[in-house]
Structure 1
Amino acid sequence: MSTPAPPSRAPALTRRLGVFDATVIGLGSMIGAGVFAALAPAASAAGSALLPALALAAVVAYCNATSSARLAARYPASGGTYVYGRERLGPFWGYLAGWGFVIGKTASCAAMALTVGSYLWPAQAHAVAVAAVVALTAVNYVGVQKAAWLTRAIVAVVLAVLAAVVTACLTSSTADTGRWAVGTDVTFTGVLQGAGLLFFAFAGYARIATLGEEVRDPARTIPRAISTALGITLVVYALVALGVLAVLGPDQLARTTAPLADAVRAAGLPGLVPVVRAGAAVAALGSLLALILGVSRTTLAMARDRHLPHALAAVHPRFQVPHRAELVVGAVVAVLAAGTDVRGAIGFSSFGVLAYYAVANASAYTLTAAENRPPRVVPALGLAGCLVLAFALPVASVLWGAVVLAAGAAVYGLRRTATTGT
């Protein structure tokens, strides 16, 4: 295996983030993406087995997080699994992981932007989504530390809103803990599909790994930030799911388009509905901020290796950010947000991210004991879980995801042929 070394073909980024800020960036992405968006479609698939589906998604996410943390500590450079796959499995697998991440997460950015628009001004959701993308791209442009400060504030607001929702639901006279029980309507396929949809909500720790070149003491900071962010997110998700199920039940939860708002209304506190709607918009903004941050860093890494235009590898001399990559990513997301469907974007994104983590687990499996590898069962279980959940997603998501990955592989093959002349 090749020896890790900082990239030398382009200017390095500045290490400014500690454990706290790195953890907050992961929280902002995971909590913003999941609680307000994934519970209802997951309940539609899993029925009364929503909590087992959540547990299954958490197990796969834990394996992915452990593999990613060990790899990120050894390869503390921007790019995440793009770098790990390249170093451990070969250039093609690194490229395929990076391709899946950039394409999938760009779609996820559009979905989060549209979530902001649908909560703040439903009649002009697309216009608000584009404005949100432009504003957050500007924030990222002036430095990752400023983005971390904004994410910290967003996470604090969202956690306060979620605490109010959980308290309102679990203390309501309409709460029925019997609704947590698994009924006879559950199918194995439904649980897998529900877990695949919920996995979308756990994928935010990738943002920590892709910032590997901008954290202080990465061997210590990255593993701690990833495990802390994932643990907090799992507890939050479990409490919210329990509260919402207690007042709505799985059938009503599956039908709603705004589960947390409907839950506090059913709990007898309609005055909380505007607060929840505002919290959903803030959460989606936090997720979008972290997503744009992560996609631009993977774009930077791929541009350094000329898998994307090398001009995107430029680092701003004052703000120390990949400014061209951020502007291009922001422009593409803005175009998608102007005319994309949220549900389709989420399914497509889930497939691409699961493929990305499959490469991460396969890479971690090759680590040696001297390289601080995880127990072999962890990456093996993570790889199998990613593949199973990916192909359990809705058929349209699987087909489009497979087509895009195949297109990326074809581009790689054509470029390699043109370069080598064979």
Structure 2
Amino acid sequence: MERLARRLGVPDAVVIGLGSMLGAGVFVVFAPAASAAGGAGLLVALALAGFIAFCNATSSARLAARYPESGGTYVYGRERLHPFAGFVAGWGFVVGKTASCAAMALTVGAYLWPGRARLVAVLAVVAVTAVNLRGIGKTAAATRVLVAVVLTVLAVVAVTGAPRVAGDRFTGFADVGTHGVLTAAGLLFFAFAGYARIATLGEEVRDPERTIPRAVPLALGAVLAIYLTLAVVALGVLGADRLAASAAPLVDVVTAAGRPGLAWLVRAGAAVAVTGVLLSLLAGVGRTTLAMARRRDLPGALAAVHPRHRVPHRAELVVAAVVIVVVAFGDVRGAIGFSSCTVLVYYAITNAAALTLGPSLLAALGLVGCLVLAVSLPLVSVLAGFGVLALGALWYAVRHR
């Protein structure tokens, strides 16, 4: 079996984790989450999503150190639970994250050229795939540049909006109730799911037993602090109602703070951020596809590794092609709910697998939390997510019979 090259250290792994997470939450998810949870409810939901993500990160790090190869929970489920559990995890990840890739590409298009959003989205997918095909070292280097640009833009938004924060806008928890907070937490979880990209790249990190457990919590902790800061600024400046209705919340923050001239910088930063997410997301989906193809849960031809660049080039090309097709019909907000549902099931399996390594309160809380958030999402997302998982399970049963 052809192996990928181990080239990533702790800093590179952390950067890929940051690049996977920064963008989706800040530029896409805050508005629908505010609509579901209100003002104070949004902050509670963000903290809840962050805690469940931490539980999942702990389980992922324990398992990735034990099984340092590409595939993430697809591998953990097979090895610790049952091949079917691994297949469900892998299928949910590939399908859900393919939808996420399409949503991110469409977001790039919407920010850069709203009148030709789908064309720009296709070009973004092609460009990002070309970078990934050059090797994971190129992916890490490109992501490092993107993360630096995004952090600068987000710092400008926070500094500009902070003086205009009004304390009376952090209200509304009683109006939405527990279900609204859980729905918002499920949507916001979409923004944290990128830390798993470190685990899915497990075959390409140096000293994985040390690198992965260190990189995952570092990346997650940094992103949670950034999200909380920007959520407070956005709510304090815009209020829950205006935030919920906003198509570009951080652009509206700098405009409301009296600096409309910074709007172009925020739009450019949004495009860069989402491109960074797309870059690492496509890499992660390609490697899970590689792992599934190696075990014939997907066509074996997708298990090929490029002889020079040591990347799963066939898997990445097929994933990119599917994303381009989805871009032609996709909807950003609908894709977020669908992706959150399937990825929460993925992490439920992660925590169940981690429990087989020994008792763990965090793994148990993560398992319950993932299932609760998954069924608390909007009904359309729940039906679509579990429907696609059921189709995959049916195909698995027929194939093995």
CA-to-partner distance for each residue in 1:368-416, whole Å, 9 max, x for gaps?
A: 3xxxxxx611111001000000000000000011110000110110111
* Alignment-derived partner of residue 389 in structure 1: 373
Aligned-residue sequence identity (percent) comes to 67
Quote how far apart the aligned CAs of 1:341 are.
1.1
Residue 18 of structure 1 pairs with residue 13 of structure 2: no
Aligned partners of 1:126 and 1:339 also within 8 Å: no
Structure 1 residue identity aligned to 2:383: L
Deviations 1:124-183 (A, max 9, x none): 0000000000110010001010011000000000010000101111123xx202322454
CA contact (8 A) 2:158 2:233 kept: yes
Corresponding position of 2:25: 34
Please name the residue that 1:123 is paired with.
115
Aligned residue among 202, 212, 236 for 2:192: 202
Query: Aligned partners of 2:43 and 2:125: how far apart in 1?
Result: 33
1:334, 1:92 → 2: CA distance? 29
Which residue of the partner structure matches residue 386 of structure 2? 402
Q: Of residues 43, 47, 53 in structure 1, which corresponds to 2:38?
A: 47
Q: Which has the higher helix share?
A: 2
1: CA distance between counterparts of 2:370 and 2:150?
Answer: 28
Q: For the residues of structure 2 that align with 1:341 and 1:179, how far apart are their CA atoms?
A: 30
* Distance change (3 Å), C-alpha of 1:227 and 1:310: same
TM-score w.r.t. structure 1 length? 0.94
Give SS of 1:38's match.
Answer: helix
What does residue 372 of structure 1 align with?
Answer: none
Corresponding position of 1:7: none
Q: In 1, are the aligned partners of 2:49 and 2:189 still within 8 Å (CA)?
A: yes
Shift of 1:187: 1.0
Match of 1:97 among 81, 89, 99: 89
Q: CA deviation at 1:108?
A: 0.2
Cα distance in 2 for partners of 1:396, 1:82 equals: 26
Which residue does the alignment assign to 1:347? 337
User: Matched residues in 1 for 2:385 and 2:174: separation?
Assistant: 32
Contact 2:37 / 2:173 at 8 angstroms: preserved in 1?
Answer: no
2:61 maps to: 69
3-state secondary structure, aligned to 1:320: coil
Give the match's secondary structure for 1:185. helix
Q: Aligned to 2:174, what secondary structure does the other structure show?
A: coil
Equivalence for 1:107: 99
Structure 1 unaligned residues grouped into runs of 5+: 1-9, 369-374, 418-422
The Cα shift of 1:32 comes to: 1.9
Alignment match of 2:262 (pick from 272, 292, 303): 272
Deviation string for 1:12-70 (max 9, x for gaps)? 10000000011011101111221100000000000021100100101110100000000
Q: Deviations along 1:174-203, whole A, 9 cap, x unmatched? A: x20232245432311100000000000000
Separation in 2, partners of 1:287, 1:332? 17
Aligned partner of 1:168 in structure 2 is: 160
Find out whether 1:258 has 2:248 as its counterpart.
yes
Q: Partners in 1 of 2:387 and 2:172 — Cα distance? A: 36
Letter in 1 for 2:125: V
- Aligned partners of 1:148, 1:331: CA distance in 2, in Å? 22
Q: Note closer, same or farther for the CA distance 1:183–1:301 as it changes in structure 2 (3 Å cut).
A: closer
- Residue 141 (structure 2) pairs with residue 157 (structure 1): no
Q: Compute the RMSD of aligned alpha carbons.
A: 0.9
Residues 61-86 of structure 1, C-alpha deviations (whole Å, 9 max, x = no match): 01000000000010000000000000
Aligned-partner Cα distance in 2 for 1:54–1:32:
15
- Structure 1: distance between partners of 2:259 and 2:143: 28
* Alignment map for 1:173-188 (pairs within 5 Å): 175-188=165-178
Aligned partner of residue 277 in structure 1, secondary structure: helix
Secondary structure class of the residue paired with 1:330: helix
Q: Secondary structure at the match of 2:311?
A: coil
2:53 & 2:374 partners in 1: Cα distance? 13
Query: Are 1:296 and 1:326, in contact at CA under 8 Å, matched by a contact in 2?
Result: yes
Q: Distance in 2 between matches of 1:314 and 1:235?
A: 39
CA contact (8 A) 1:40 1:254 kept: yes
Counterpart in 2 of 1:377?
361
For 1:33 and 1:246, locate their aligned partners in 2 and report how far apart those are by CA, in whole Å.
20
2:204 aligned partner: 214
Question: Residue 157 of structure 2 aligns to which amino acid in structure 1?
Answer: V
The one-letter amino acid of 2:25's match is: G
1:335 Cα offset (Å): 1.1
| Contact 1:129 1:338 (8 Å CA) reproduced | no
Alpha-carbon distance in 1 for matches of 2:24, 2:144? 16
Q: Deviations over 1:236-263 (max 9, x none)?
A: 0000001111110111111111100001
338-347 vs 89-98, greater mean Cα deviation: 338-347
| Count of residue pairs the alignment pairs up | 400
SS of aligned partner of 1:36:
helix
AA matched with 1:156 = A
Deviations along 1:309-339, one digit per CA (max 9) or x if unpaired, are 1010010010000010011011111111122
Say whether the 8 Å CA contact 2:38–2:171 is kept in structure 1: no
Runs of 4+ residues deviating >3 angstroms: 181-184
Q: Which amino acid aligns with 2:94?
A: V
In 2, are the aligned partners of 1:179 and 1:249 still within 8 Å (CA)?
A: yes
